Structure 1
Amino acid sequence: MILLDAVYINMGGGKVLLDHLMTELENTNEKVFYLLDDRVQNNHIPVKQTNKVQFIKAGFVQRARFYKNNKNSFSSILCFGNYPPLYKTSAKVFTYFHQSLFLELPEDLSLKQKWVYGLKALILKIKIQNTDYWMVQSDKIKNALAKKFKISENKILEMPFYPRLPDTKQVDKIENTYTYIGDAFVSKNHRILIEAFSEFYQKFHKGELILTISNREKEIIDLIADKQMKNIPIKNVGMVDRTKVSEILQCAEYVVYPSLAESFGLSIIEAIEKDCKIIGADLPYMHAACEPSLLFNPCDKKSLVEALSLSLQKDIKKSTSKIPNKIFEIINLLTHHANQR
């Protein structure tokens, strides 16, 4: 039996990838056990009667108890949440690592956030021998993971994967429309985008910025409201489903990506598939994911204003993706080792 352990995945791009993994595993004839975060109990991919699902709270104690009781229950395991099993098992174990903040911390994180991520990285280091292989989304993450935790590079497999967005009605791009898909976590750097777009609009009186920020991000929501009071055309549509994301990208001319830390950047790939041009942070993750149309320094508002200004020109090159989709290679690895037992 295969175990898919996704205890720490409950929202955002990680949840999108989890749903894709589950869908493809459900298309096989293998028996699969899903260990999931209890926050997705009412929002997960339906599974066949021959497969099993268990929900637990996303904590070390509950997860450790599960592995202690099931050390010899599985033939292959995919830990889809950065951490290997908390106990050594008899299975062939793959750990999918996609948290770049365990590798390098942006300077503008608070001391508390740096302490939390530092502690999580230490726990990862302690349990590093409990996995046979690591899977990562890019060469950048592979190199950083190998260096930080002294892992042999032949134990780290580059396995990027992503689902296609739903097809939506074909419409023409709306000129000078900008968007950024994702919630306003600190590392996503929404504030500098909002301030730069406001300055850009006040100078040129062109453009609209569309964001997808949840109501719990009150500080950024209040900032948007303040800009709207000043007639800056910023629209927040809230957290939306993938069909709505597809519709937004279908219409947008540009996706602006100021994030300070990404292991992959799913919305970059999705945007390019929807023929959007990328105005991207001049950081390694961006260069690993694509050839963007325009670049800027994500810590410098003036640099982003300049990039937005350049986007008004008519000869801006298209963006191109560098990421292959290896979902079936991942499934084949899991099923191959499941059949070896």
Structure 2
Amino acid sequence: MKKITVFAPNVRHGGGRILLLQILNELQNKNYIQNAYVSSNLKDELSGFKGIRFNNSNLFSRALAELRLYFNNYKNNKILFFGNMPPAIKLKSHCILYLHNSLLLSKKNVYSFSIKTKIRLAFERLYLRIFIKNVDEIYVQTPKMLKELKNYNENLNIKLKPFLDNQKTNGSIPNTDQSKYNFIYPSYGYSYKNHKLLIKAWVELSKDGFFPSLLITIDKKNDKKLYEYISIAIRNHNLNIDVYSNVNYKDMQDLYNISDTLIWPSLTESFGMPIIEAFNAGLSIIASRLEYIDDLLDDVYLFNPYNAEDIAKNVIICLSDIQAKRAKNPKLKFSIPQTKDFVESL
């Protein structure tokens, strides 16, 4: 019987957490789990699972987990390193690295991160460069990531392996009469997600007498400064914006169902899971005119993500088209398998 070990002690939140849980659920259902080294933050979701080893979120705990891995690996085993980091020691097992953070392939910090985040990224980039030779295969989610990784090291064995348990539910544009929000932006508050410029675009719209409704989902606790920035802009310019905090993944579908259009101003993405979810929910999409969008979709509205006025201009075009029932209908450029198909391919 197939047995897979999953190593992801550093995956705690965001899209990585969602995809990791989908993998582990599928492995559990098929009784494929050999061992899984995961963050203690996932205890509630993985209660009762076999072979789970919970780890604290620090370097010592990760090093200890990797030592356990070293003393329990066998020639015919497969190990999926899902947390972007390869093993520091070459193992006998067949090792697969699932790389889903494009920031690790950059040589410079071009975004305004905190000092702590900059130090962590610098360490992880160096770690990846030194130890990437210890894996047999690398899986990525998009053609953009595949191209960037080949430029990073042309000798790597790289495969395009996206997956997501999210089915298309509606092939047409949503009924605007039933929608509460013109636009939705479900994302974390990282600087490259470009929330501040999006808010500036909404301020520009307000100056011209346009007040489209926008739903933003962020973590008010972790993104406190961003939340304050948005709140001040709402008060000062009477913006029609609601902010939801800590929305459960299962509840996101309900929010898509009351929204017309996904707006996505992010400056970089490895995958952009909400883009796929919004597409599957039948929403219109307006997004950054960047390569990661071109990788995924045709027939979407595009804007310059570095220019608030251009965002505002294209928001008006999108609104006008939706109201006139002539909105663009996005098309996905490649199929994205379900988790069960991904697991069977391991």
Q: Normalized against structure 2, the TM-score is what?
A: 0.87
Aligned equivalents of 2:278, 2:109: Cα separation in 1: 25
Contact 1:265 1:289 (8 Å CA) reproduced: no
- For residue 302 of structure 2, the aligned residue among 283, 288, 295 is 295
RMSD: 2.4
Aligned equivalents of 1:38, 1:11: Cα separation in 2: 12
Query: After superposition, what is the alpha-carbon deviation per residue over 1:52-84, rounded to whole angstroms, capped at 9, x for unaligned?
Result: 111112333322222223325241111111111
How high is the sequence identity, in percent, across the aligned residues?
24
Query: How many residues matched?
Result: 328
Secondary structure class of the residue paired with 1:34 = strand
1:158 aligns with 2:160: yes
Contact 2:83 2:98 (8 Å CA) reproduced: yes
1:40 maps to which residue? 42
- For residue 189 of structure 1, the aligned residue among 188, 191, 194 is 194
Paired residue type of 1:282: R
Contact 1:160 1:323 (8 Å CA) reproduced: no
Query: After superposition, what is the alpha-carbon deviation per residue over 1:186-230, rounded to whole angstroms, capped at 9, x for unaligned?
Result: 111111111112221342434201011111212221122213323
Structure 1 runs not aligned, ≥5 long: 335-341
Alignment of 1:1-341 (within 5 A): 1-42=3-44, 44-48=45-49, 51-74=50-73, 75-104=77-106, 105=108, 107-110=110-113, 112=115, 113-152=117-156, 155-164=157-166, 172-173=175-176, 174=179, 177-216=182-221, 217-229=223-235, 230-314=237-321, 315-326=326-337, 327-334=339-346
After superposition, the Cα gap between the structure-2 partners of 1:244 and 1:111, relative to the gap in structure 1 and judged at 3 Å, is closer
* Residue range with higher mean Cα deviation, 20-29 or 127-136: 20-29
After superposition, the Cα gap between the structure-2 partners of 1:165 and 1:39, relative to the gap in structure 1 and judged at 3 Å, is farther
After superposition, the Cα gap between the structure-2 partners of 1:164 and 1:46, relative to the gap in structure 1 and judged at 3 Å, is farther
1:338 maps to which residue? none
* Residue range with higher mean Cα deviation, 323-332 or 85-94: 323-332
After superposition, the Cα gap between the structure-2 partners of 1:175 and 1:292, relative to the gap in structure 1 and judged at 3 Å, is farther
Contact 1:176 1:312 (8 Å CA) reproduced: no
CA apart distance, 1:114? 4.7
CA apart distance, 1:255? 0.7
Structure 2 runs not aligned, ≥5 long: none
After superposition, the Cα gap between the structure-2 partners of 1:65 and 1:176, relative to the gap in structure 1 and judged at 3 Å, is closer
Query: After superposition, what is the alpha-carbon deviation per residue over 1:283-336, rounded to whole angstroms, capped at 9, x for unaligned?
Result: 1111112125211111111111111111122223111222422333431233xx
Aligned equivalents of 1:60, 1:166: Cα separation in 2: 40
